[in-house]
């Protein structure tokens, strides 16, 4: 289990380091202004779908369905064909009517900004069909317990964007956004190529080709499996996408705030996503195939052992990350971004957003772990109900906090939603089982370690402040 987790974590960490370098260059080139807001809006919608598919619903429904299927090749080919067809149609519609898509994402933009953003949204949206194909292939690789290709492949997107920033260094900000948009699409193509090569190397390409070849002839035999998949998939989308929908609504609401607010949320969320990705998401991706297999074989005790190990692994790492991220928020943003067009005031505003995000790191990370239990038990509808309650709390909190706190209030609303989702997910997992995990010497170690870490970081923060001044 831990070998797979570390493979995922290292791959994601490598990609995120490149991502931070990319963001550093983006902040320097664009700062936090109308052009940075436009690019982040243009990339927001396809990136939203990427997170829902790649880190959520599709994987968590497809793997159990694929494991139970008696006609795996035909079943997988059918699912791929259905979803890719729908996504390509949506992408074509967005390219035909990009201004409508821009208005839907950022209602607060004025007419001139909508006109500026529309072509970039059309270009960026071509990333969506590419990343769905990547997600589909990565899910098959996960079933074979091959994680390295997917974990490291996101780095190709970051490399593509870094190259775009390098090539556009002497261009206007409008041209830089064009280069970045095409860089997103090229990054998606590179990710797809390496996944096709990995599928071929593991001998999965031939069976998949056979599935497409005999799809029309054998589509009847998978009719029931496909219907069951669709029934589980749509609740799973809703159940697993609350953080992504909240992030999307962040952009929608932030478009009504001062220029730069969307960028503050983006940069703050990028820092927040690092520990969430390399610890919580990496653990969930690595653990889910095993949990699904144990559930299929009715080996509940073995599944619980894996859950408990992963729980303490995540709890220690996420607690340390929360304390460090909150206490050093200003210093982190200053070191990473404050140069070029990114000002000291931008650092202050982004740091306040990051603090609000970091408060919710532990519950959001642990919720991803406990959601595995629901999805492995094919309880997608329950997860969807939890997501509905969480999103409701987010909307109410966001509307209450946006006026007094601005962008930081939107981040805090997402954190409140995360706490609600975690509490409700633990209730479905079993409150008694959850507290049985907590009744351990590890709890004492966690409390003592947290206190010591807080003291050490307070000393470090004081030293950095003196160095800055």
Half-sphere exposure of 10 (CA within 13 A, CB side): 9
Residues 354-369 have pLDDT tens digits of: 999 999 999 999 998 8
What integer pLDDT is reported at residue 321 of this predicted model? 92
pLDDT band at 163 (very low <50, low <70, confident <90, very high): very high
Whether 51 and 368 have beta carbons less than 8 Å apart is answered as: no
| CA separation, residue 350 to residues 261, 342, 407 (Å) | 9, 11, 9
pLDDT band at 51 (very low <50, low <70, confident <90, very high): low
pLDDT score of 293 more than 90: no
The more confident residue out of 269 and 284 is 269
What integer pLDDT is reported at residue 468 of this predicted model? 59
| DSSP per-residue letters across 330-377 | HHHHHHHH-STT--HHHHHHHHHHHHHHHHTHHHHHHHHHHHHHHHHT
What integer pLDDT is reported at residue 105 of this predicted model? 67
d(CA 106, CA 441): 49
pLDDT score of 2 more than 60: no
What integer pLDDT is reported at residue 182 of this predicted model? 92
What integer pLDDT is reported at residue 377 of this predicted model? 77
Is the Cα dihedral 76, 63, 318, 408 positive or negative?
Answer: positive
pLDDT score of 66 more than 90: no
The pTM score is 0.71
d(CA 214, CA 216): 6
d(CA 348, CA 331): 10
Cα Rg of the chain (Å, integer): 22
CA-nearest of 235, 239, 278, 250 to 47 is: 250
Tokens 């050093």 belong to 328
């Amino acid at each position: 289990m831990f070998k797979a987790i570390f493979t995922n974590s290292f791959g994601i960490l490598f990609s995120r380091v490149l991502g931070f370098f990319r963001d550093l260059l983006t902040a320097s080139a664009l700062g936090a202004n109308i052009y940075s807001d436009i690019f982040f809006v243009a990339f927001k919608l396809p990136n939203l779908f990427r997170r829902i598919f790649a880190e959520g619903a599709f994987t968590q429904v497809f793997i159990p369905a694929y494991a139970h299927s008696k006609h795996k090749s035909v079943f997988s080919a059918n699912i791929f064909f259905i979803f890719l067809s729908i996504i390509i149609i949506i992408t074509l519609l967005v390219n035909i009517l990009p201004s409508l898509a821009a208005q839907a994402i950022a209602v607060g933009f004025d007419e001139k900004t909508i006109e500026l953003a529309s072509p970039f949204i059309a270009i960026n949206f071509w990333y969506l069909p590419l990343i769905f194909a990547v997600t589909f292939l990565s899910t098959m690789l996960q079933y074979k317990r091959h994680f390295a290709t997917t974990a490291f492949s996101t780095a190709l997107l970051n490399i593509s964007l870094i190259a775009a920033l390098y090539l556009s260094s002497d261009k206007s900000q409008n041209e830089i956004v064009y280069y970045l948009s095409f860089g997103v699409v090229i990054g998606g193509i590179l990710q797809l190529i390496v996944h096709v090569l990995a599928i071929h190397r593991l001998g999965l390409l031939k069976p998949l080709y056979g599935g497409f070849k005999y799809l029309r002839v054998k589509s009847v035999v998978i009719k029931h499996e496909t219907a069951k998949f669709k029934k589980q998939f749509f609740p799973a989308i809703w159940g697993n996408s609350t953080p992504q929908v909240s992030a999307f609504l962040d952009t929608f609401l932030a478009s009504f705030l001062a220029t730069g607010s969307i960028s503050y949320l983006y940069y703050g969320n990028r820092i927040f996503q690092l520990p969430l990705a390399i610890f919580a998401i990496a653990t969930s991706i690595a653990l889910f195939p095993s949990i699904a297999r144990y559930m299929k074989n009715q080996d509940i005790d073995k599944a619980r052992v894996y859950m408990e190990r992963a729980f303490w692994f995540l709890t220690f790492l996420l607690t340390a990350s929360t304390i460090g991220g909150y206490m050093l928020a200003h210093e982190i943003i200053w070191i990473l971004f404050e140069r070029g067009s990114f000002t000291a005031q931008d650092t202050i505003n982004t740091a306040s957003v990051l603090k609000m995000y970091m408060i919710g790191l532990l519950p959001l990370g642990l919720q991803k772990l406990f959601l595995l239990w629901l999805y492995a038990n094919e309880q997608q509808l329950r997860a969807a109900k939890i997501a509905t309650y969480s999103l409701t709390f987010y909307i109410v909190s966001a509307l209450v906090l946006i006026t007094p706190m601005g962008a930081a209030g939107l981040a805090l609303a997402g954190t409140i939603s995360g706490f609600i989702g975690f509490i409700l997910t633990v209730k479905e997992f079993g409150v008694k089982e959850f507290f049985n995990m907590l009744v351990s010497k590890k709890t004492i170690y966690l409390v003592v370690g947290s206190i010591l870490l807080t003291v050490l970081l307070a000393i470090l923060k004081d030293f950095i402040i003196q160095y800055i001044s």
